[in-house]
Amino acid sequence: MQPPPDLPNLIYLGDNRDLFARLPDDSVDLVLTDPPYKNYRSNRPTAHPILKRIQHGQFDVELFARESYRVLKSGCHLYCFCDHLTFPGIRTALVEAGFKYRNCLVWVKNNHGSGDLRGNWAPQHEFIIFVSKGKPQPLRGRRQSNVLGRRPGKGLLEPFPKVSNYRFNHGTTKPVELLQMIIQASSKPDEIVLDPYGGSGSTAVACILEGRRYILSEIDPEYHRIALERISPESFIKP
Ligand SMILES: C[S@@+](CC[C@H](N)C(=O)[O-])C[C@H]1O[C@@H](n2cnc3c(N)ncnc32)[C@H](O)[C@@H]1O
């Protein structure tokens, strides 16, 4: 089953419920997403007053899990960013929707967040839940560690450089290189990658660089505009 021809290579402005409703069953080759899984109100607005608050209220984890399972082709993979607090709930929702739990990848960052400055360890990683729809297709390329980063030398791990909060005026922009690594391992050229929580469009940029087709949705018009700017031909001339 193929999605309608206007959907691949689309960054849809609106709620992903509406986008999911337009996607046929078994029509997507990879789901890769970074939902608004935590309450960013605690630190970001004070530390970075010009950054907007990310809308976290709309993360309907059951809908996301159920609809992702429906639209993903059999054997294909889903990756979802989360942290140690949201991991159990997201994992449960995915498994209840029918996914097979496979692994929890760790993305080590080259900066750490703030939070409780004296009473707790500084957060310096995010988790990425990895599940499959039924028996998983093999991962492509050479076998990689589940701790993600650059590997410049034997045994060394170099974090992907952080994307400044001000680069795209979005507090949680992910490094494109990190997304490329996942896309390479879990899809083939020309296949369709779905990101229902598109943000500033990093998944679309990674798909273009990897020769994959993309379908994203973003509910916030300002982030949607930034995402469109990032995929414009001008941005690719001067990355
Ligand atoms: C954590 S951010 C994603 C950041 C993205 N990975 C990037 O690199 O820019 C989550 C995004 O989901 C958007 N969002 C929240 N609820 C949504 C919904 N129901 N449908 C579509 N987008 C939504 C938010 O506006 C936010 O930009």
Backbone torsions φ then ψ of 25, nearest 5 degrees:
-60, 150
Centre of ligand 1 to C-alpha 174, Å, is 12
Q: Cα–Cα distance between 43 and 29 in angstroms, integer?
A: 36
* pLDDT digits 0-9 by tens, 162-177: 888 888 888 899 999 9
Percent of the chain's residues with pLDDT above 90: 72
Residues making up the chain, counted from first to last: 239
Radius of gyration of the chain (CA): 17
Please report, for the chain, the start and end positions of each structural domain, with discontinuous segments joined by +: 10-114+123-237
Cβ pair 59, 35 in contact under 8 A: yes
Centre of ligand 1 to C-alpha 154, Å, is 36
Q: Cα–Cα distance between 106 and 163 in angstroms, integer?
A: 17
Q: Cα–Cα distance between 132 and 33 in angstroms, integer?
A: 14
- Write down the architecture of domain 10-114+123-237 according to CATH: 3-Layer(aba) Sandwich (3.40)
Pocket of ligand 1 contains residue 19 by CB under 6 Å: no
pLDDT for 43 equals 44
Test site for ligand 1: of 16, 207, 219, 225, most ligand atoms within 8 A of the Cβ: 219
Extended strands (E) in the chain: 10-13, 28-33, 72-82, 100-108, 125-132, 147-148, 192-195, 213-218
pTM of the model: 0.93
Extended strands (E) in 83-234: 100-108, 125-132, 147-148, 192-195, 213-218
Q: Whose CA is nearest to atom 4 of ligand 1?
A: 199
pLDDT band at 39 (very low <50, low <70, confident <90, very high): low
Q: Whose CA is nearest to atom 12 of ligand 1?
A: 197
Centre of ligand 1 to C-alpha 18, Å, is 14
Pocket of ligand 1 contains residue 12 by CB under 6 Å: no
Q: Whose CA is nearest to atom 7 of ligand 1?
A: 173
* pLDDT digits 0-9 by tens, 116-133: 778 899 889 999 999 999
Residue range 8-14: average pLDDT?
96
